[in-house]
Chain A
Amino acid sequence: MTKDVDIDKICTTLDKLTLDTLTLMEEHVQLKLNLENSMNDGILNLAKTRYIMGHNNISSLQLPAEDSSEIEAIAVIHSEENEKLGYRMHDLEVIKKSESNSKIQDPLKWFGVLVPQNLHIAQNRFKQALIWIGEIANIQSRLNYNCNKLEGLRQLKNDAMKTE
């Protein structure tokens, strides 16, 4: 009798987790499509900037290389394991330039002093893409957590049914 109750409990939890996982999967795909839209907008504006400034002026050549001076990231991630929920949560932080932190430099400056408006738009689109990425990372960690839990519960259910 108690075993029956146990299996029923496991099955109910499995059902809930499965539904939750399906919802998360849908949300994950939707967020990736949002990310794709932002990135495509950004890339289109990069292409417009290339048209104005010349092809070689917006390329990997302008990016800092190993021999350039130390550069600090402006967009960083704070993540911590949420003990109540059991999975990691990520939060995006965009560091503002301040006098105490002189290493921080606007990446637009790598491409020149007076850059076209399109490059500013491209930067904003990619900043938006970073926000999506923070959300996707959260969904992904929840999905991973759900998958681990589902695997464990399935095993438990199989074991319980074998001993029945």
Chain B
Amino acid sequence: MAFSAAKGKLLSVIGDEDTCVGFLLGGVGEINKNRHPNFMVVDKNTAVSEIEDCFKRFIKRDDIDIILINQNIAELIRHVIDGHTQPIPAVLEIPSKDHPYDATKDSILRRAKGMFNPDDFLRST
């Protein structure tokens, strides 16, 4: 597919060490002119407030189009993620080494599932 001359936007990563090392190896990492990286390595000593701040910072950046976040980390800041309703940047919850993918925790699937409330399908006569 042909791409326009416009510069593409970034994918950012908030995840454990292996997730960050892996995706940066894949080529998503960037350090911009202001020395701001587009990734954050979360370990067991990282405070939840730090993750929250980083997530909010990524949302505000207009050069980021997709935020990848490990599902277990997303669980820690679920209220912030659920509060983000804008289409850009898209927040994608990805599995991690220690936490396999759980569809029941996925924000978008929970939203879609919420659409299927049986009461809504009844047509009152």
Q: Are A and B co-members of a single complex?
A: yes
Please give the residue numbers on chain A whose beta carbons come within 8 Å of chain B beta carbons, in ascending order.
11, 18, 21, 24-25, 28-29, 32-33, 35-36, 39-40, 42-43, 46, 58-60, 62-79, 87-88, 90-91, 93-95, 107-108, 119, 122-123, 125-127, 129-130, 133, 136-137, 140-141, 143-144, 146-147, 150-151, 154, 161
Which of A32, A58, A69, A143 neighbours the largest number of chain B CB atoms within 10 Å of its CB? A32
Binary CB contact string for chain B from 74 to 111 against chain A (1 if under 8 A, 0 otherwise): 00000000000001101010111100110100101101
At the interface, yes or no: B20 with Cβ under 8 Å from chain A? yes
* Of B25, B65, B103, most A-chain CB atoms within 10 Å: B25
Selected contact of A94 from candidates B27, B95, B96, CB within 8 Å: B27
Task: Report the minimal beta-carbon distance from A47 to chain B, rounded to whole angstroms.
Answer: 8
Partner of A33, one of B6, B101, B115, B120: B101
* Chain B min CB distance to A81 (Å): 8
B3: chain A residues at CB < 8 Å are: 78, 91, 93
Are A140 and B90 in touch, CB under 8 angstroms? yes
**A23 CB to closest chain B CB, in angstroms?**
11
- Decide: A78 near B109, CB < 8 A? Known: A36-B100, A133-B92: no
CB distance from A105 to the nearest CB of B (A): 10
In the bound assembly, the distance between CA atoms of A123 and B24 in angstroms comes to 9
Residues of B within 8 A of A64 (CB): 29, 31, 37
Size class of B's contact patch?
35 or more
Give Cα distance in the complex from A129 to B27, angstroms: 12
In the bound complex, CA of A39 to CA of B13 (Å): 14
| B28 interface hit (Cβ, 8 Å) | yes
Q: Assess the A28–B11 pair: CB atoms within 8 A.
A: no
B100 pairs with A137, CB closer than 8 A? no
List the 7 closest pairs (A to B, CB-CB), nearest first: A76-B8, A74-B27, A126-B26, A73-B30, A75-B27, A126-B22, A60-B41
Tell me, yes or no, whether B7 is within 8 Å of chain A by CB.
yes
Q: Does B21 contact A (CB under 8 A)?
A: yes
**Can you name the residue of chain B whose Cβ is closest to the Cβ of A125?**
B22
Q: Which residues of B are found within 8 Å of A28, using beta-carbon distances?
A: 106, 108-109
A59 touches B21 (CB 8 A): yes
* Complex contacts, B109 vs chain A, CB 8 Å: 25, 28-29
Give the nearest-CB partner of A81 in chain B: B87
Are B29 and A77 in touch, CB under 8 angstroms? no
